Amino acid sequence: MSLEQIEIDAGRLQKQIDELALISENPPPVVTRILFSEADLRGRAFVKKLAGEAGLKVRQDAIGNIFIQWAGRNPKWPAVATGSHIDAIPNAGKFDGVVGVLGAIEAIRALQRAGVNPKRSVEVIIFTAEEPTRFGIGCVGSRLLGGTLSPENAANLKDRDGKSLETWRREVGWANEDLKSVRLAPNCYSAFVELHIEQGPLLEKENVPIGVVERIAAPSTLRLDLTGVGGHAGGTLMPGRRDALLAGAEVALAVEQAALNTGSPDTVATTGIFRIEPGAVNSVPCQAHLEIDLRDTQTRTRDAALAQIETAVRDICERRGVKQELERVAVDPPVICDRRLVNLVAQTCSTLGLPFKRMVSRAYHDSSFMAQVCPTVMIFIPCRNGWSHRPDEYASPDHIKTGVTVLAHALANLADEP
Ligand code: GLV
Ligand code: MN
Ligand code: MN
What are the average pLDDT values for consecutive 10-residue runs of the chain, which has 418 residues?
82 98 98 98 98 96 98 97 98 98 98 97 98 98 98 98 98 97 96 98 98 97 98 97 98 98 97 98 98 97 98 98 98 97 98 98 98 98 98 98 98 97
DSSP secondary structure of 193-233: EEEEE-SSSHHHHHT-SEEEEEEE-EEEEEEEEEE-B-EET
**How much distance in Å is there from the Cα of 302 to the middle of ligand 3?**
21
**How much distance in Å is there from the Cα of 127 to the middle of ligand 1?**
13
Helix (H, G, I), strand (E, B) or coil at 280: coil
**How much distance in Å is there from the Cα of 199 to the middle of ligand 1?**
9
Pocket test for ligand 1, best of 84, 221, 365 (most atoms within 8 A of CB): 365
- pLDDT recorded at residue 82: 99
Pocket test for ligand 1, best of 297, 364, 387 (most atoms within 8 A of CB): 364
Cβ neighbourhood burial of 93 (10 Å; 0-12, 13-18, 19+): buried
Give the closest ligand to the alpha carbon of residue 389: 2
Helix (H, G, I), strand (E, B) or coil at 69: strand
363 CA: nearest ligand 1 atom: 5
- pLDDT recorded at residue 225: 98
Cα dihedral 83, 84, 85, 86 sign: negative
Mutual angle of helices 38-53 and 98-113, in 10-degree steps:
10
Give the closest ligand to the alpha carbon of residue 138: 1
Pocket test for ligand 1, best of 85, 87, 131 (most atoms within 8 A of CB): 131
Cα–Cα dist 318/304, whole Å: 21
Give the closest ligand to the alpha carbon of residue 364: 1
Q: CA 339 from chain center: how many Å?
A: 22
**How much distance in Å is there from the Cα of 155 to the middle of ligand 3?**
23
* DSSP β-bridge partners for residue 325: 225
Q: Assess whether the C-beta atom of 194 lies below 6 angstroms from ligand 1.
A: no
Nearest CA to ligand 1 atom 5: 363
Give the closest ligand to the alpha carbon of residue 84: 3
Those residues whose C-beta lies under 8 Å from the C-beta of residue 124, and which sit 6 or more positions away, are 51, 56, 67, 68, 69, 81, 82, 83, 101, 104, 105, 108
Omega into 29 within 30° of 0, i.e. cis?
Answer: yes
Those residues whose C-beta lies under 8 Å from the C-beta of residue 386, and which sit 6 or more positions away, are 198, 199, 200, 201, 202, 204
Those residues whose C-beta lies under 8 Å from the C-beta of residue 313, and which sit 6 or more positions away, are 224, 251, 254, 324, 326
362 CA: nearest ligand 1 atom: 5
Give the closest ligand to the alpha carbon of residue 139: 1
The answer to whether 83 touches 96, Cβ cutoff 8 Å, is no
> Which amino acid does the sequence have at 112?
Q
Q: Assess whether the C-beta atom of 364 lies below 6 angstroms from ligand 1.
A: yes
- Residue 88 φ then ψ, to 5°: -140, 140
Q: Assess whether the C-beta atom of 131 lies below 6 angstroms from ligand 1.
A: yes
**How much distance in Å is there from the Cα of 312 to the middle of ligand 1?**
25
Q: Assess whether the C-beta atom of 198 lies below 6 angstroms from ligand 1.
A: no
- pLDDT recorded at residue 2: 59
- pLDDT recorded at residue 5: 86
Helix (H, G, I), strand (E, B) or coil at 57: strand
